[in-house]
Chains A and B, each alone.
Chain A
Amino acid sequence: MTRLTFIAFDGTRFEVDAENGSTVMENAIRNGVPGIEAECGGACACATCHVYVDEEWTDAVGGPEVMEEDMLDFAYDVRPNSRLSCQIRVSDELDGLVVQVPERQA
């Protein structure tokens, strides 16, 4: 099990245990983290699962692939540490990962 922390826009922290191989988005939805909508169910087709990866973790998480970059064009207030959480897969290396939920999804 890998520990993930979501920080909602109002500052509320959600610490959850995530299964390796699942996506960060799936864990947000399963645990009712507010502000993650995931309209397309993880197909990288809606940009409503946008998160900011905590600066400490950007290297471990890595950057988006081309398709995700394209979808990020539709997100709100995109920053260098923006990712679509359905495209981040949970693994041992991400134990302790912290992501922030933006003010709103597009």
Chain B
Amino acid sequence: MAETARTDVLIIGAGPVGLFAVFELGLLDLKCHLLDILDRPGGQCAELYPEKPIYDIPAWPVISGQELVDRLMEQIRPFGAEFTFNRMVSGLERLDDGSFRVTTDEDEHFEAKVVVIAAGGGSFQPKRPPIPGIEAFEGTGVHYSVRRMEDFRGEDLVIVGGGDSALDWTLNLAPVARSLTLIHRRPEFRAAPDSVKKMFALRDAGKIDFAVGQVGALRGEKGQLEAAILKTPDGEREIASTRLLPFFGLTMKLGPIADWGINLHENLIPVDTEKFESSEPGIFAIGDINHYPGKLKLILSGFHEAALTAQAAKRIVHPDEKVVFQYTTSSTKLQKKLGVA
């Protein structure tokens, strides 16, 4: 097991607001480590609407979700924040000395004096497709991710979906599965054209099957999956299936935050509007996850919250240092930190 990593501020969530917090904290000499269940930075902007235009970022008449994330990454580069992706933050506890320990689902530990929860609408988790009774097979016959390819060796595998995950796993698992059927609602895909080409080549070579339609039901007993029922406009048919991998995108779920002993109000974290601190001193909440009178779930509001939280975090991490208010325009000290002076 990895040893405990220490930093000044742990940021849970690498959405736009968590990213900008790195900048505001960095100007105050605080080092950050960000954790996110996604495999890349950007939160909702990167996962839900990378190509859509945003019109209300000050001084950007229009900017796409992904471009905003790219610009933020560029802006915070001087501060050398650390990132750990593909990890769900599962635990948050206070240690005897008043600092915090954060635990991930891979059982790694991180410690810091301040925790900033920038968890937005919650952690991104795979969408459960609306197939009646699917819950009964979850973990035994139905899986939403592939941790070990070997788990699928010799199985009759059905993969559902038309995006990159569905196509990539079809290509990767075809050699190990006993049989593999890819099911998608239509013959067009939202995936890399090269993967689509390779998938059709495998089908033409008789290595896999591709069926157009939707999975309407599952058949099996006591959690042991036996078949998927394919629904098409012409009727229904059964496809032998001992393992089903549905890839229907991600949705946001509050997740483990509810278990951390912080007061919640309708799945949001109530905070004050001076420091955006939660009911637990030293734990702050900024961006979409927090709640206060007049709250607007806007990126620009989250940016403002990050700036004020940084001031409060500074007083906790460096209680003896006096914080002098400075402009990036005129302070050589700040400019040195930014690497421009």
Contacts and interface: CB of A to CB of B under 8 A. Distances in A.
Nearest to B162: A73
Interface residues on B, range: 10 to 19
Question: Which among A69, A72, A104 has the highest number of chain B CB atoms within 10 Å?
Answer: A69
B249 A43 contact: no
B48 A74 contact: no
B127 A69 contact: no
A106 B161 contact: no
A21 interface: no
Nearest to B130: A76
A45 B130 contact: no
Contacts, number: 36
Contacts of A76: 129-130
A17 interface: no
A106 B190 contact: no
B33 interface: no
A74 B129 CA distance: 8
Given A104-B130, A106-B129, A106-B130, A73 B233 contact: no
Give the interface SS of chain B, mostly helix, strand, loop or mixed: loop
Contact of B185 (A40, A46, A78, A104): A78
Interface in A71-106: 72-74, 76-78, 80, 104, 106
Contacts of A40: 48-49
B169 interface: no
Nearest to B231: A77
Given A70-B190, A73-B184, A43 B49 contact: yes
A69 B188 contact: yes
A106 B127 contact: yes
A106 B188 CA distance: 20
Given A74-B248, A74-B249, A76-B130, A43 B161 contact: no
Question: Which among A74, A78, A106 has the highest number of chain B CB atoms within 10 Å?
Answer: A74
A12 B235 CA distance: 29
Given A40-B48, A43-B49, A45-B49, A77 B186 contact: no
Interface of A: 40, 43, 45-46, 69-70, 72-74, 76-78, 80, 104, 106
Given A72-B185, A106-B127, 4 more contacts: A43-B48, A73-B162, A73-B185, A73-B186
